[in-house]
């Protein structure tokens, strides 16, 4: 049997198990019909016709199996997972990138966005401890910023910071240092940390460094 391109495109939205079940039903009933036709035309003097009918059924079965394999492979491609890079470290529901280069806050955020990420955002003190445990002695830009000292701190996704950890200084852009979270001018060159959810990467989760 043949499947048009339009039918194949529409199949992509159906569950794979349902497609396999429909293919099985097609093979079952089509095979029954062909077998019935074959039996009606069979005679003891023509065993070759029987083999012909079974050959047709075998071809149909092979076609269904090939379709099932193709649909299964297509389903895997829909996950859109990116191969894990050794530069990304998994922790909980996120993955983090610790840079080796130095640049300003704006350029750091631009780099992260190009990686489908944002400058690092921590959701808990445990996550902050993880970041501090994996950075070296350098200062690292993170995703906190504010318009002025009169405005609240916000993350790059515009959610407000909960002030779980005080931020030192009078600057408008935050970074991690050995003293905790500090702030400074955006043009100062520093290392940076990117973060992205685990729906984008498939990396092994590592324990915190001791």
Give the model confidence (pLDDT) of 191-206 as tens digits: 999 999 886 555 555 5
Do 167 and 70 fall within a single domain?
no
Do 108 and 146 fall within a single domain?
yes
Its domain, for residue 113, covers 83-202
Identify the CATH number of the domain in which residue 148 sits. 3.10.100.10
Residue 209 lies in a domain: no
Residue 208 lies in a domain: no
- What per-residue confidence (pLDDT) applies to 67? 63
Do 94 and 192 fall within a single domain?
yes
Residue 106 lies in a domain: yes
* 208 or 103, greater pLDDT: 103
* 201 or 94, greater pLDDT: 94
Q: What pTM value is reported for the model? A: 0.57
Phi, psi of 14 (to 5 degrees): -90, 150
Do 15 and 107 fall within a single domain?
no
DSSP string, 186-205: TTS-BEEEEEEETTSEE--B
Last residue of a domain, one of 48, 77, 106: 77
Q: At 95, which helix (H) or strand (E)?
A: strand 94-98
Residue 78 corresponds to which tokens in the numbers above?
Answer: 């829909």
Do 66 and 130 fall within a single domain?
no
How many distinct structural domains can be found in the chain?
A: 2
Last residue of a domain, one of 42, 57, 77: 77
Do 25 and 105 fall within a single domain?
no
Model pLDDT for residues 47-74, shown as the tens digit of each residue:
665 566 566 667 666 766 766 655 554 4
Residue 207 lies in a domain: no
- How far, in Å, CA of 57 to CA of 41, rounded? 16
Residue ranges of alpha helices (H) inside the chain are 5-11, 16-41, 47-77, 105-114, 125-134
- What per-residue confidence (pLDDT) applies to 198? 80
Do 51 and 107 fall within a single domain?
no
Do 171 and 96 fall within a single domain?
yes
Find the length of the chain.
210
């Amino acid at each position: 049997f043949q499947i048009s391109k339009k039918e194949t495109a529409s199949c992509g939205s159906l569950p794979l198990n349902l497609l396999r079940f429909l293919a099985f039903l097609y093979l079952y009933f089509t095979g029954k019909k062909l077998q019935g036709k074959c039996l009606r035309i069979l005679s003891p003097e023509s065993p070759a016709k029987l083999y012909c009918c079974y050959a047709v059924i075998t071809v149909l079965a092979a076609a269904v199996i090939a379709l099932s394999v193709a649909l299964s492979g297509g389903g895997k491609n829909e996950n859109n997972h990116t191969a894990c890079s050794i530069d990304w470290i998994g922790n909980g529901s996120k993955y983090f990138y610790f840079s080796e280069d130095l640049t300003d806050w704006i350029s750091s955020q631009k780099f992260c966005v190009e990686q489908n990420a944002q400058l690092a955002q921590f959701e808990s003190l445990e996550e902050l401890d993880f970041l501090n445990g994996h950075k070296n002695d350098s200062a690292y830009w993170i995703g906190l910023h504010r318009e002025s000292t009169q405005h609240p701190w916000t993350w790059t996704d515009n959610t407000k910071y909960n002030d779980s950890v005080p931020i030192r200084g009078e600057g408008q852009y935050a970074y991690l240092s050995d003293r905790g979270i500090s702030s400074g001018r955006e043009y100062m060159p520093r290392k940076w940390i990117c973060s992205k959810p685990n729906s984008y990467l498939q990396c092994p989760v590592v324990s915190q460094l001791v």
